[in-house]
Chains A and B, each alone.
Chain A
Protein backbone atom coordinates (compact mmCIF):
# COMPACT_ATOMS: atom_id res chain seq x y z
CA UNK A 1 0.00 0.00 0.00
CA UNK A 2 1.15 3.51 -0.80
CA UNK A 3 4.24 2.30 -2.54
CA UNK A 4 6.89 4.92 -3.05
CA UNK A 5 5.36 7.37 -0.61
CA UNK A 6 7.75 9.87 0.88
CA UNK A 7 5.76 10.61 4.04
CA UNK A 8 7.26 10.27 7.49
CA UNK A 9 6.36 7.29 9.66
CA UNK A 10 3.42 8.84 11.53
CA UNK A 11 2.68 11.91 9.46
CA UNK A 12 0.27 12.07 6.53
CA UNK A 13 1.43 10.25 3.44
CA UNK A 14 -0.82 12.12 1.07
CA UNK A 15 -3.51 14.78 1.16
CA UNK A 16 -5.86 15.93 -1.60
CA UNK A 17 -8.65 18.49 -1.63
CA UNK A 18 -11.62 18.75 -3.95
CA UNK A 19 -13.82 21.82 -4.38
CA UNK A 20 -17.59 21.37 -3.94
CA UNK A 21 -19.89 23.91 -5.53
CA UNK A 22 -23.18 24.62 -3.79
CA UNK A 23 -26.37 23.66 -5.74
CA UNK A 24 -24.33 22.16 -8.57
CA UNK A 25 -26.27 18.92 -8.79
CA UNK A 26 -24.71 17.98 -12.13
CA UNK A 27 -21.28 17.73 -10.53
CA UNK A 28 -22.40 16.47 -7.11
CA UNK A 29 -20.69 13.16 -6.45
CA UNK A 30 -17.76 13.69 -8.80
CA UNK A 31 -15.35 14.44 -5.95
CA UNK A 32 -16.42 11.22 -4.21
CA UNK A 33 -15.83 9.22 -7.39
CA UNK A 34 -12.33 10.72 -7.59
CA UNK A 35 -11.70 9.84 -3.95
CA UNK A 36 -12.86 6.29 -4.58
CA UNK A 37 -10.49 6.06 -7.55
CA UNK A 38 -7.60 7.39 -5.47
CA UNK A 39 -8.19 4.92 -2.62
CA UNK A 40 -8.50 2.00 -5.06
CA UNK A 41 -5.33 3.11 -6.82
CA UNK A 42 -3.52 3.14 -3.48
CA UNK A 43 -4.55 -0.47 -2.99
CA UNK A 44 -6.87 -0.19 0.00
CA UNK A 45 -9.21 -3.12 0.73
CA UNK A 46 -12.65 -2.88 -0.88
CA UNK A 47 -14.47 -2.65 2.47
CA UNK A 48 -12.73 0.49 3.69
CA UNK A 49 -12.92 2.08 0.21
CA UNK A 50 -16.64 1.45 0.17
CA UNK A 51 -17.21 2.91 3.65
CA UNK A 52 -15.12 5.99 2.92
CA UNK A 53 -16.69 6.70 -0.46
CA UNK A 54 -20.26 6.34 0.84
CA UNK A 55 -19.44 8.88 3.55
CA UNK A 56 -17.71 11.17 1.05
CA UNK A 57 -20.78 11.07 -1.21
CA UNK A 58 -23.27 11.78 1.59
CA UNK A 59 -21.09 14.64 2.84
CA UNK A 60 -20.60 16.02 -0.65
CA UNK A 61 -24.36 15.97 -1.26
CA UNK A 62 -24.91 17.79 2.03
CA UNK A 63 -22.56 20.60 0.97
CA UNK A 64 -24.26 20.81 -2.45
CA UNK A 65 -27.73 20.87 -0.91
CA UNK A 66 -27.29 22.93 2.24
CA UNK A 67 -23.88 24.57 2.26
CA UNK A 68 -22.47 27.39 0.26
CA UNK A 69 -19.35 26.27 -1.57
CA UNK A 70 -17.07 23.97 0.38
CA UNK A 71 -14.41 21.35 0.00
CA UNK A 72 -13.59 17.79 0.88
CA UNK A 73 -10.07 16.78 1.84
CA UNK A 74 -8.84 13.23 2.02
CA UNK A 75 -5.70 12.65 4.06
CA UNK A 76 -3.95 9.33 4.12
CA UNK A 77 -2.00 8.17 7.17
CA UNK A 78 -0.29 4.78 7.48
CA UNK A 79 -3.23 3.18 9.30
CA UNK A 80 -5.96 5.75 8.75
CA UNK A 81 -7.98 7.49 6.05
CA UNK A 82 -9.34 10.89 7.13
CA UNK A 83 -12.05 12.87 5.40
CA UNK A 84 -12.60 16.50 6.29
CA UNK A 85 -15.58 18.25 4.76
CA UNK A 86 -16.25 21.90 5.36
CA UNK A 87 -18.62 24.50 4.04
CA UNK A 88 -19.59 28.07 4.76
CA UNK A 89 -23.31 27.36 4.80
CA UNK A 90 -25.97 28.14 7.40
CA UNK A 91 -24.64 25.54 9.85
CA UNK A 92 -26.61 23.01 11.89
CA UNK A 93 -28.75 24.34 14.70
CA UNK A 94 -29.25 21.09 16.60
CA UNK A 95 -26.63 18.46 15.73
CA UNK A 96 -28.28 15.76 17.87
CA UNK A 97 -31.57 16.24 16.04
CA UNK A 98 -29.79 16.23 12.66
CA UNK A 99 -28.23 12.87 13.57
CA UNK A 100 -31.66 11.25 13.97
CA UNK A 101 -32.65 8.97 11.10
CA UNK A 102 -35.41 10.56 9.05
CA UNK A 103 -34.94 14.09 10.37
CA UNK A 104 -34.53 16.45 7.46
CA UNK A 105 -34.89 20.11 6.58
CA UNK A 106 -34.69 19.37 2.87
CA UNK A 107 -37.19 21.00 0.51
CA UNK A 108 -39.31 18.59 -1.60
CA UNK A 109 -37.21 19.15 -4.76
CA UNK A 110 -34.17 17.61 -3.06
CA UNK A 111 -36.21 14.54 -2.18
CA UNK A 112 -37.28 14.27 -5.79
CA UNK A 113 -33.60 13.96 -6.64
CA UNK A 114 -33.28 11.03 -4.26
CA UNK A 115 -31.73 12.86 -1.33
CA UNK A 116 -32.86 14.82 1.69
CA UNK A 117 -34.47 11.82 3.40
CA UNK A 118 -32.71 12.48 6.69
CA UNK A 119 -30.33 9.56 6.27
CA UNK A 120 -27.12 11.34 5.31
CA UNK A 121 -25.53 11.99 8.70
CA UNK A 122 -26.72 8.64 10.19
CA UNK A 123 -25.27 6.87 7.13
CA UNK A 124 -21.94 8.59 7.70
CA UNK A 125 -21.95 7.61 11.37
CA UNK A 126 -22.72 4.00 10.48
CA UNK A 127 -19.82 3.80 8.02
CA UNK A 128 -17.08 5.78 9.76
CA UNK A 129 -14.94 4.62 12.69
CA UNK A 130 -15.00 8.15 14.11
CA UNK A 131 -17.24 11.08 13.25
CA UNK A 132 -17.07 14.60 14.57
CA UNK A 133 -19.28 17.53 13.58
CA UNK A 134 -18.43 21.12 14.42
CA UNK A 135 -21.19 23.52 13.50
CA UNK A 136 -23.32 26.34 14.74
CA UNK A 137 -25.85 28.61 13.04
CA UNK A 138 -24.27 30.88 10.41
CA UNK A 139 -20.80 29.49 11.14
CA UNK A 140 -20.69 26.78 8.50
CA UNK A 141 -20.13 23.10 9.15
CA UNK A 142 -17.02 20.96 9.52
CA UNK A 143 -17.36 17.17 9.43
CA UNK A 144 -14.39 15.02 10.28
CA UNK A 145 -14.49 11.28 9.54
CA UNK A 146 -11.85 8.65 10.24
CA UNK A 147 -11.59 5.17 8.74
CA UNK A 148 -9.16 2.87 10.42
CA UNK A 149 -7.34 0.10 8.63
CA UNK A 150 -7.34 -1.83 11.89
CA UNK A 151 -11.15 -1.84 12.05
CA UNK A 152 -13.20 -4.63 10.56
CA UNK A 153 -13.91 -4.05 6.84
Chain B
Protein backbone atom coordinates (compact mmCIF):
# COMPACT_ATOMS: atom_id res chain seq x y z
CA UNK B 1 0.00 0.00 0.00
CA UNK B 2 1.18 3.48 -0.76
CA UNK B 3 1.09 6.23 1.78
CA UNK B 4 1.87 9.89 1.49
CA UNK B 5 3.36 11.83 4.36
CA UNK B 6 1.47 15.08 4.82
CA UNK B 7 2.28 17.94 7.15
CA UNK B 8 -0.79 19.02 9.06
CA UNK B 9 -1.12 21.83 11.62
CA UNK B 10 -2.14 20.88 15.17
CA UNK B 11 -4.09 23.09 17.59
CA UNK B 12 -0.94 24.53 19.12
CA UNK B 13 0.41 25.44 15.71
CA UNK B 14 2.96 22.66 15.43
CA UNK B 15 3.27 20.82 12.14
CA UNK B 16 2.97 17.06 12.49
CA UNK B 17 3.46 14.41 9.88
CA UNK B 18 0.36 12.40 9.05
CA UNK B 19 0.31 9.27 6.96
CA UNK B 20 -2.41 9.31 4.32
CA UNK B 21 -3.27 6.17 2.39
CA UNK B 22 -3.40 6.50 -1.37
CA UNK B 23 -5.08 3.76 -3.35
CA UNK B 24 -5.16 0.02 -2.76
CA UNK B 25 -3.12 -2.85 -4.05
CA UNK B 26 -4.89 -5.25 -6.41
CA UNK B 27 -4.51 -7.84 -3.67
CA UNK B 28 -6.50 -5.64 -1.28
CA UNK B 29 -9.07 -5.02 -4.01
CA UNK B 30 -9.46 -8.78 -4.46
CA UNK B 31 -9.91 -9.25 -0.70
CA UNK B 32 -12.47 -6.45 -0.41
CA UNK B 33 -14.51 -7.87 -3.29
CA UNK B 34 -13.97 -11.49 -2.17
CA UNK B 35 -12.82 -11.98 -5.73
CA UNK B 36 -11.26 -14.93 -7.46
CA UNK B 37 -8.06 -14.08 -9.37
CA UNK B 38 -7.71 -15.94 -12.68
CA UNK B 39 -4.36 -14.77 -13.99
CA UNK B 40 -1.38 -12.49 -13.50
CA UNK B 41 -1.28 -13.11 -9.73
CA UNK B 42 2.27 -11.76 -9.68
CA UNK B 43 0.92 -8.29 -10.43
CA UNK B 44 -1.30 -8.08 -7.34
CA UNK B 45 1.07 -5.77 -5.48
CA UNK B 46 0.39 -3.04 -8.07
CA UNK B 47 -1.41 -0.05 -6.56
CA UNK B 48 -4.48 1.53 -8.11
CA UNK B 49 -6.31 4.70 -7.15
CA UNK B 50 -9.27 4.81 -9.51
CA UNK B 51 -11.97 2.49 -10.77
CA UNK B 52 -14.52 2.71 -13.55
CA UNK B 53 -17.66 0.65 -14.02
CA UNK B 54 -19.89 -0.03 -16.97
CA UNK B 55 -20.76 -2.24 -19.88
CA UNK B 56 -20.45 0.29 -22.71
CA UNK B 57 -16.94 0.16 -24.04
CA UNK B 58 -17.17 3.47 -25.90
CA UNK B 59 -17.99 5.23 -22.63
CA UNK B 60 -15.02 3.57 -20.97
CA UNK B 61 -12.71 4.58 -23.82
CA UNK B 62 -13.38 8.18 -22.79
CA UNK B 63 -11.66 7.79 -19.43
CA UNK B 64 -8.69 10.15 -19.40
CA UNK B 65 -6.62 8.18 -16.85
CA UNK B 66 -4.17 5.32 -17.03
CA UNK B 67 -4.01 2.59 -14.39
CA UNK B 68 -7.76 2.39 -13.73
CA UNK B 69 -9.49 -0.84 -12.60
CA UNK B 70 -12.46 -1.78 -14.74
CA UNK B 71 -15.55 -3.41 -13.22
CA UNK B 72 -17.96 -4.77 -15.79
CA UNK B 73 -20.60 -7.38 -16.45
CA UNK B 74 -19.53 -7.65 -20.08
CA UNK B 75 -17.70 -10.95 -20.45
CA UNK B 76 -16.46 -10.34 -23.95
CA UNK B 77 -12.94 -10.24 -25.28
CA UNK B 78 -13.68 -6.60 -26.14
CA UNK B 79 -13.62 -5.80 -22.41
CA UNK B 80 -10.03 -7.09 -22.30
CA UNK B 81 -9.05 -5.12 -25.41
CA UNK B 82 -10.61 -1.95 -23.99
CA UNK B 83 -8.44 -2.40 -20.88
CA UNK B 84 -5.32 -3.06 -22.92
CA UNK B 85 -5.79 -0.10 -25.23
CA UNK B 86 -6.40 2.35 -22.38
CA UNK B 87 -3.68 1.03 -20.05
CA UNK B 88 -6.08 -0.24 -17.38
CA UNK B 89 -4.59 -2.12 -14.47
CA UNK B 90 -7.09 -4.93 -13.91
CA UNK B 91 -10.40 -6.26 -15.19
CA UNK B 92 -13.02 -7.46 -12.70
CA UNK B 93 -16.18 -9.25 -13.79
CA UNK B 94 -19.11 -8.73 -11.46
CA UNK B 95 -22.25 -10.75 -10.61
CA UNK B 96 -20.24 -13.96 -10.71
CA UNK B 97 -19.65 -13.82 -14.45
CA UNK B 98 -16.85 -16.13 -15.46
CA UNK B 99 -14.26 -15.21 -18.08
CA UNK B 100 -13.98 -17.65 -20.98
CA UNK B 101 -10.72 -19.13 -22.25
CA UNK B 102 -10.42 -16.58 -25.05
CA UNK B 103 -10.50 -13.74 -22.51
CA UNK B 104 -7.93 -15.42 -20.27
CA UNK B 105 -5.58 -16.21 -23.14
CA UNK B 106 -5.64 -12.60 -24.34
CA UNK B 107 -5.17 -11.33 -20.78
CA UNK B 108 -2.19 -13.64 -20.17
CA UNK B 109 -0.51 -12.66 -23.44
CA UNK B 110 -0.69 -8.98 -22.57
CA UNK B 111 -0.32 -9.24 -18.79
CA UNK B 112 -3.73 -8.05 -17.56
CA UNK B 113 -4.97 -9.40 -14.19
CA UNK B 114 -8.52 -10.81 -14.38
CA UNK B 115 -10.81 -11.35 -11.39
CA UNK B 116 -14.43 -12.10 -10.73
CA UNK B 117 -16.69 -11.36 -7.80
CA UNK B 118 -20.15 -12.64 -6.94
CA UNK B 119 -21.07 -9.09 -5.88
CA UNK B 120 -23.19 -6.80 -8.06
CA UNK B 121 -21.66 -3.86 -9.89
CA UNK B 122 -23.20 -1.43 -7.39
CA UNK B 123 -22.01 -3.31 -4.31
CA UNK B 124 -18.53 -3.80 -5.75
CA UNK B 125 -18.18 -0.09 -6.46
CA UNK B 126 -19.59 0.78 -3.03
CA UNK B 127 -17.08 -1.40 -1.20
CA UNK B 128 -14.12 -0.02 -3.15
CA UNK B 129 -15.30 3.58 -2.78
CA UNK B 130 -15.66 3.12 0.97
CA UNK B 131 -12.03 1.96 1.07
CA UNK B 132 -10.76 5.04 -0.72
CA UNK B 133 -10.80 4.09 -4.41
CA UNK B 134 -11.77 7.13 -6.43
CA UNK B 135 -14.02 7.25 -9.46
CA UNK B 136 -13.62 9.13 -12.70
CA UNK B 137 -14.64 12.77 -12.21
Contact = CB atoms under 8 A, between A and B. Distances in A.
B57 A115 contact: yes
Interface in A6-23: none
B30 to A, nearest CB: 24
A26 B56 CA distance: 17
Contacts, number: 68
Contact of B74 (A28, A33, A114, A117): A114
A117 B74 CA distance: 14
A115 B110 contact: no
B78 A28 contact: yes
Which range holds the interface residue count of chain B?
Answer: 20 to 34
B3 interface: no
Given A25-B78, A29-B78, A46-B66, A119 B58 contact: yes
B85 A117 contact: no
A114 B76 contact: yes
Interface of B is mostly: helix
A123 B63 CA distance: 11
A50 B86 contact: yes
B61 A54 contact: yes
A36 B110 CA distance: 12
Which range holds the interface residue count of chain A?
Answer: 20 to 34
A30 B84 CA distance: 11
A58 interface: yes
Given A33-B110, A54-B86, A113 B59 contact: no
A120 interface: yes
Contacts of B76: 25, 113-114
A141 interface: no
A36 B81 CA distance: 11
A53 interface: yes
Interface in A27-68: 28-30, 32-33, 36, 46, 50, 53-54, 57-58, 61
A119 B72 CA distance: 18
Closest 5 CB pairs of A and B: A119-B58, A29-B81, A114-B57, A114-B74, A117-B56
